[in-house]
Amino acid sequence: MSEGQIRILIADDHPFFVDGLAANVEAEPDMAVVARASDGREAVARAREHRPDVILMDLRMPTMNGVEAIREITAFEPSSRIIVLTTYDGDEDIYRALKAGAKAYLLKDVFREELLAAIRAVHSGRRHIPAQVASRLAERMGSDELTEREVEVLRLVASGKSNREIGDALLIAEGTVKAHVNNILNKLGANDRTHAAMLALQRGLFRFE
């Protein structure tokens, strides 16, 4: 690499995607890939070792997910310039990533020109939030946030469990579960339990791997 190039770390657990991404990046005279990581924990280690100018971070990786990796990296390097590059467009995914410290959020089907523009923008200290991502984020900011317990209840609702079964699983009274479910329906604007589970999955509140 030559002096003045944007030094980039790519963190993603799909080797073929990483190879293609690296080839596109390194075709640019002002960019160079200095390190790769295949999981979140390795991404943190490589960020400490190489101190890249820009990090391209997937969200779903083994060992440690992208949001957790972003939090750890920004803890020791608050000025880190991280771009999330993922297949997930749920408003909760976007909210958590940006709250953790990401400066841009792109989907993996992004055009090459927009990705390169985002890298240069983030490197220069700007954010890069595409219109459709900003729209999903606005939806998230306009809704009431579920508590951790409510997310736990909703995950069990989505798996088909009854209020009694949820109470047994979480060691809480059936009446308490019913109260949580009512709060969840109100916060999500859902018509019923099935609708609430569908909205939660769309938003990325949780996923069944």
Lookup result for tokens 């997930």:
88
User: Residue range 149-155: average pLDDT?
Assistant: 89
Q: Which residue has the higher pLDDT, 140 or 65?
A: 65
Answer yes or no: is pLDDT of 1 > 60.
Answer: no
The verdict on 14 and 105 lying in the same domain is yes
Burial zone of 114 (CB within 10 Å; 0-12 exposed, 13-18 middle, 19+ buried): middle
Residues 75-93 have pLDDT tens digits of 999 999 999 998 877 777 8
Radius of gyration for the alpha carbons in the chain, expressed in angstroms and rounded: 19
> Looking at the domain assignment, is residue 1 inside a domain?
no
What are the φ/ψ torsions at residue 129 (nearest 5 degrees)? -120, 105
pLDDT value at residue 140: 64
Going from the C-alpha of 209 to that of each of 12, 17, 61, 201, 206, the distances in angstroms are 17, 20, 12, 12, 9
- Give the CATH number, domain containing residue 59: 3.40.50.2300
User: Structural domain of residue 184, as residue ranges?
Assistant: 148-203
Q: Which of 7-21, 68-82, 128-142 has the lowest mean pLDDT?
A: 128-142
pLDDT value at residue 93: 82
When divided into structural domains, the chain yields a total of 2
Give the pLDDT band of residue 209 (cuts 50, 70, 90): low
The verdict on 129 and 185 lying in the same domain is no
Model pTM score: 0.70
- Give the CATH number, domain containing residue 159: 1.10.10.10
Amino acid sitting at position 131: A
User: Residue range 151-157: average pLDDT?
Assistant: 89
Residues 94-104 have pLDDT tens digits of 888 888 999 99
User: Residue range 58-78: average pLDDT?
Assistant: 93
The verdict on 88 and 106 lying in the same domain is yes
